[in-house]
Chain A
Amino acid sequence: MTGFIAQLLNGLQYGLLLFLIGSGLTLIFGVMGVINLAHGSLFMIGAYLAYVVAGATGSFWIALPAAILGGAAFGAMLERVLFRHFRHREHLDQVLLTFALILLFEEGRSALIGNQFHSVPVPAALDFSVPVVGGFAYSAYRLAVLVICLLVAAAMVLVVERTRFGAAIRAAAEQPDMVDLLGLDARLIHTAVFAAGTALAMLAGALAAPLQSVQPGMGDGFLILSFIVVVIGGLGSVAGAFWAALLVGLIDTLGKVYLPQVAGIAVCGLMAAVLLWRPAGLFAKG
């Protein structure tokens, strides 16, 4: 039973990391209409950044703001230089552009840091277990990841639903022409959304670094799962991505423990079923 609770918490925590990646993906697609297959590589870059920063400064906590700020700057640069020009290109061009970025990011990582596996130690302040129920205790760092992800999710919902900037993002996603009519700068919105999406993916990578080995190609699995999250949640919907991420995180984690041979197939099958049954997403309104 305690084992099951641990897996449940692991599933939630995995799902929340998927939400950080998937929410950026869904916003970028919703607002810009661009498919970014390199989003998983951004997660990988975030994890390596955490490894480097934590190693150089001796503090893991500096790695988190570094991932957010570095991600925002990197994302803004990518949008200005490349993605801006691919908004109206065919899907094939977008797929291949972002596939090229995957190859270049992996090769860049290999050239700068190498191909070894690394581990990032759990920050000392959180290197203990918290008693949850009965005799069952759970890693404090994992709980902290849960809390941080929930705070980020709450902040995102607040920004998107309650602020003027959020209204502009929603307008850009639903009625692109209206943005110009309202006198808003659509290009600025695109840059901001892409920067935010990149920052979220890199933050997720940094948070995940102490939980798994930092290794080449570590974003690949996350990429497929976060695309599935986006489709199940409905393209462009942050709230949909949240519930879908929890669902996918739980199914994938519990599946890997209890039915390891079908876990990979189960999540893909779920996505196929959603696409055929409710193509606009499981959590779409109406």
Chain B
Amino acid sequence: MTAQGMTILGGRGNACLALAAVAIASMPLWASAYHMQLASTALIAAMFALSLQILAGAAGLISLAHAGFFGLGAYTVYLLGSVPLAMSLPAAMLLAGAAALPIGSLALRTRGFYFLMTTLAFGQMLFFLFHDTPLGGGADGVFITRPSVYWPVSRAARPAVLLLLNLTALTAMYIALWCLMRTMFGHALRGIRANEDRMRAMGHDVQRLKLAAFVLAGTLAGAAGHMAAMTDAFVSPELLGWHRSAEALLMVLLGGLGALHGPILGAAALILVREAGSLVTERQRLIEGAVILAAVLLLRRGLAGKWRQ
């Protein structure tokens, strides 16, 4: 698994994804509000996991601070108060990226196990910042006013509007990353995961590439967090905790580290399994724990790897 770089989909794979996107976009015509909300949850999870894939899949960096940036994006909505979407989304991305820059430049001075631990500590610092201080409205979380769209949205139309916004955001993120992975930057990042020393010997500034990936991933996680806050109209410090980071890693692993579209499959799979599991048992953690065990014990290449076979 290590030697192999990350693949990106060709025309046929992307056509499949586009079909799925069309199916989701048509949901307001046939699905219930509940199912549209469920789809929104999955789309947000996919954005979050996709942002982590730049680090974990492309550059091979396992960060436990990632939920911190997701949560910062979400809390931006709370901190700004009632503003238009066109302002709150860029602000959320900016804030998350601005936090990722110093954290990344410190954490990336370490490698392997130490990188895991440093990112865990920084992620928990962000968590405590919102948990222990009055900055974010307290440890129990707060309800927020959603950023406004350009036209008034009725209560009945809200799940559909949010679904389409989330779908647009995920699509934009995927296309941007798909293009990015085809550039020199994308090739260099994937080179780091395959063989960091070789990349260094070839004259690449590995440190700067990693930092760029870290900040980009943090920025995109901020966007995902913003969409989560907007969809749920609620934020809590739990959004920043390391359990969330581990969940994102799970979606990445479920989908497969080796493919850019993997996290989208992983997020969809996890949300579906959870939903199906909640019909059978109330014990959510049992289902999730079993899914993880199955993934690490059996599914070494992820769902995307199965697809290729």
List residues of A whose CB falls within 8 A of some B CB: 29, 35, 37, 86, 89-93, 95-97, 99-101, 103-104, 106-107, 110-111, 224, 227-228, 230-231, 235, 260-265, 268-269, 271-272, 275-276, 279
Which positions 286-301 of chain B face chain A at CB distance < 8 Å? 286, 288-290, 292-293, 295-296
Given A99-B292, A103-B289, A104-B285, A271 and B253 contact (CB-CB distance below 8 Å): no
* Residue among A103, A261, A262 with the highest chain B CB neighbour number at 10 A: A103
Please tell me if B10 contacts chain A, counting CB pairs below 8 Å: no
Instruction: Pick the residue among B109, B131, B289, B293 that contacts A264 (CB under 8 A).
Output: B131
Chain B's nearest CB lies how many Å from the CB of A158? 28
Contact A97 B293 (CB under 8 A): yes
Contact B246 A224 (CB under 8 A): no
Task: List chain B residues, Cβ under 8 A from A230.
Answer: 117
Given A110-B283, A269-B125, A100 and B114 contact (CB-CB distance below 8 Å): no
Given A265-B129, A268-B122, A268-B128, A97 and B292 contact (CB-CB distance below 8 Å): yes
Residue of B nearest to A256 (CB): B132
* Residue among A110, A230, A260, A265 with the highest chain B CB neighbour number at 10 A: A265
Given A97-B296, A261-B133, A264-B128, A107 and B283 contact (CB-CB distance below 8 Å): yes
The 5 closest A-B pairs by CB, nearest first: A264-B128, A100-B292, A103-B289, A103-B285, A104-B289
> Given the complex of chains A and B, what is the CA–CA distance between A180 and B10 in angstroms?
49
Residue of A nearest to B109 (CB): A276
> Given the complex of chains A and B, what is the CA–CA distance between A270 and B63 in angstroms?
19
Instruction: Pick the residue among B120, B131, B285, B288 that contacts A224 (CB under 8 A).
Output: B120
Can you list 13 contacts pairing A with B, beta carbon distance less than 8 Å?
Answer: A37-B246, A91-B116, A96-B246, A96-B253, A99-B250, A99-B292, A100-B289, A100-B290, A104-B286, A265-B129, A271-B117, A271-B118, A272-B106
Please tell me if B62 contacts chain A, counting CB pairs below 8 Å: yes
Which positions 260-295 of chain B face chain A at CB distance < 8 Å? 283, 285-286, 288-290, 292-293, 295
> Given the complex of chains A and B, what is the CA–CA distance between A90 and B193 in angstroms?
13
Number of interface residues of B (CB under 8 A): 42
Chain B's nearest CB lies how many Å from the CB of A105? 9
* Residue among A96, A110, A271 with the highest chain B CB neighbour number at 10 A: A96
> Given the complex of chains A and B, what is the CA–CA distance between A230 and B116 in angstroms?
13
Task: List chain A residues, Cβ under 8 A from B56.
Answer: 92
> Given the complex of chains A and B, what is the CA–CA distance between A21 and B193 in angstroms?
33
Given A95-B62, A99-B246, A268 and B289 contact (CB-CB distance below 8 Å): no
> Given the complex of chains A and B, what is the CA–CA distance between A111 and B257 in angstroms?
34
Please tell me if B309 contacts chain A, counting CB pairs below 8 Å: no
Please tell me if B124 contacts chain A, counting CB pairs below 8 Å: yes
Besides the known contacts A96-B246, A268-B122, 19 further A-B residue pairs in the complex with CB atoms under 8 A apart = A29-B113, A89-B296, A90-B2, A93-B296, A95-B64, A96-B250, A96-B253, A96-B292, A96-B295, A97-B292, A101-B289, A103-B286, A103-B289, A261-B133, A265-B129, A275-B118, A275-B121, A279-B109, A279-B114
Task: List chain A residues, Cβ under 8 A from B124.
Answer: 224, 264, 268
Instruction: Pick the residue among B117, B127, B133, B296 that contacts A100 (CB under 8 A).
Output: B296
> Given the complex of chains A and B, what is the CA–CA distance between A101 and B292 in angstroms?
9
Chain B's nearest CB lies how many Å from the CB of A277? 10
Which positions 100-147 of chain B face chain A at CB distance < 8 Å? 106, 109-110, 112-114, 116-118, 120-122, 124-125, 127-129, 131-133
Please tell me if B249 contacts chain A, counting CB pairs below 8 Å: yes
Please tell me if B29 contacts chain A, counting CB pairs below 8 Å: no
Chain B's nearest CB lies how many Å from the CB of A263? 7
Task: List chain B residues, Cβ under 8 A from A275.
Answer: 109-110, 114, 117-118, 121
Task: List chain A residues, Cβ under 8 A from B121.
Answer: 224, 227-228, 231, 268, 271-272, 275
Contact B117 A95 (CB under 8 A): no
Which positions 129-167 of chain B face chain A at CB distance < 8 Å? 129, 131-133
The proximity string for B residues 43-73 relative to A, scoring 1 for CB distances below 8 Å and 0 otherwise, is 0000000000000100000101000000000
Please tell me if B1 contacts chain A, counting CB pairs below 8 Å: yes
Task: List chain A residues, Cβ under 8 A from B283.
Answer: 107, 110-111
Contact A35 B293 (CB under 8 A): no
> Given the complex of chains A and B, what is the CA–CA distance between A104 and B286 in angstroms?
6
> Given the complex of chains A and B, what is the CA–CA distance between A250 and B132 in angstroms?
19
Residue of A nearest to B283 (CB): A107
Chain B's nearest CB lies how many Å from the CB of A216? 11
* Residue among A104, A106, A228 with the highest chain B CB neighbour number at 10 A: A104
Task: List chain B residues, Cβ under 8 A from A262.
Answer: 132
Instruction: Pick the residue among B106, B132, B289 that contacts A107 (CB under 8 A).
Output: B289
